[in-house]
Amino acid sequence: MRAWVREHRRRARRIGLVPTMGCLHTGHLSLVELAQRHAEAVVLSLFVNPMQFGPNEDFANYPRDLESDQRLCAKAGVAAIFCPSAESLYAVGHSTFVEETRFARGFCGDRRPGHFKGVATIVAKLFNIVQPDLAVFGQKDAQQTRVIRQMARDLDFPVEIMAGPIVREADGLAMSSRNRYLNGEERRQAICLSRALETAALRVAAGEHETVALVAAMRGQIAGAPLARVDYLEIVDDATFEPTATLQRPALALLAVFVGRTRLIDNALLTPTGTMHAAPGGPGNARPITGTASPANLR
Ligand code: AMP
């Protein structure tokens, strides 16, 4: 990887990085496309990072499909795949970690202790190895993207962080490698997440700005799916990630829901005007969905 980076740097090519855990889907490929619009050579990393999984989480079962990933990367024009082994990345005796302490609190940070420490550490390592000019993350993992932006800023990584909008299935379910875990009935009920976000958007468009009411409406949607159980469901200020009682500025509806044994996350930006954005993204990435909020807004 270092030799590849040296060669591309020598030719003054802008390098883009898309970090993933593999089992690629259209959501990942949309990030590659975004990176390719801003960089001449895009590296996609494939690494199921053991450090970001808790002891009772799905590290061992996490879906892996290297052949399919390689095919999709070739088709997408990815310049290099970086697919290190855990042994090569974490040498015996590894004892240094990166921890962001503001945005990594709450939500997935509380529910998955150590998760964002694992994420920040691996992303810092990838930045050091690949030395990208820009790196693209998904708004699907809104809190993760926020943590990484902050880490890059605080630790002076010379990397531009961009965010790509959430790519969804036709019925609204946010694409995720973990959707593979769902059986037929769970898959059908999994649309309760995007339905809940649509409900919130519709309520906001109709003039409801109290988050208590919006959260209750979203919980009502999830309650309608017997196989679903809320892990967390909150509305936070988009800039600060602090809870907000009334929508005065753009806010993020964040939710994590177990469907059967599979934990899914999703989010949507709610703006008090009734305009909803699929994702705030980085500069030029926002895909505003204007007009009255309708269920189609999330698709
Ligand atoms: P993962 O392989 O799940 O760790 O995801 C790798 C990157 O792809 C992260 O930056 C995710 O936020 C992003 N991503 C995952 N799912 C989607 C999606 N449905 N749409 C857009 N980006 C996504």
| Terminal-to-terminal C-alpha distance of the chain | 37
Beta bridge partners of residue 162, listed in sequence order: 136
Banded pLDDT at 251 (limits 50, 70, 90)? very high
Query: What percent of the chain is modeled with pLDDT above 90?
Result: 90
By the 8 A CB rule, do 246 and 210 touch?
Answer: yes
Query: What percent of the chain is modeled with pLDDT above 70?
Result: 91
- What is the CB neighbour count within 10 angstroms for residue 263? 19
pLDDT of residue 12: 84
53 lines ligand 1 (CB under 6 A): no
Coarse DSSP helix, strand, coil percentages of the chain, rounded to the nearest 5 percent: 40, 20, 40
104 lines ligand 1 (CB under 6 A): no
Tell me: pLDDT of 288 over 90: no
**Catalytic annotation, pick one of 8, 25, 28, 209:** 28
123 CA from centroid of ligand 1 (Å)? 14
Residue scoring higher pLDDT (284 or 92): 92
Tell me: pLDDT of 299 over 90: no
pLDDT in tens, 192-249: 999 999 999 999 999 999 999 999 999 999 999 999 999 999 999 999 999 999 999 9
By the 8 A CB rule, do 9 and 130 touch?
Answer: no
Q: Is 249 helix (H, G, I), strand (E, B) or coil?
A: coil
> Considering only CA atoms, which residue is closest to atom 10 of ligand 1?
137
Interatomic CA distance for residues 282 and 160, integer angstroms? 9
Nearest atom, ligand 1, residue 165 CA? 21
Helix H or strand E segment including 81: strand 80-82
Interatomic CA distance for residues 253 and 237, integer angstroms? 9
Nearest atom, ligand 1, residue 136 CA? 10
Average pLDDT over residues 177-203: 97
To 10 degrees, the CA torsion angle through 65, 67, 71, 74? 100
141 lines ligand 1 (CB under 6 A): yes
pLDDT of residue 173: 98
Banded pLDDT at 131 (limits 50, 70, 90)? very high
pLDDT in tens, 69-102: 999 999 999 999 999 999 999 999 999 999 999 9
Q: Which two tokens stand for residue 168?
A: 């969804």
90 CA from centroid of ligand 1 (Å)? 23
Nearest atom, ligand 1, residue 139 CA? 12
Indicate if 28 belongs to the active site: yes
Q: Which two tokens stand for residue 258?
A: 């177990």
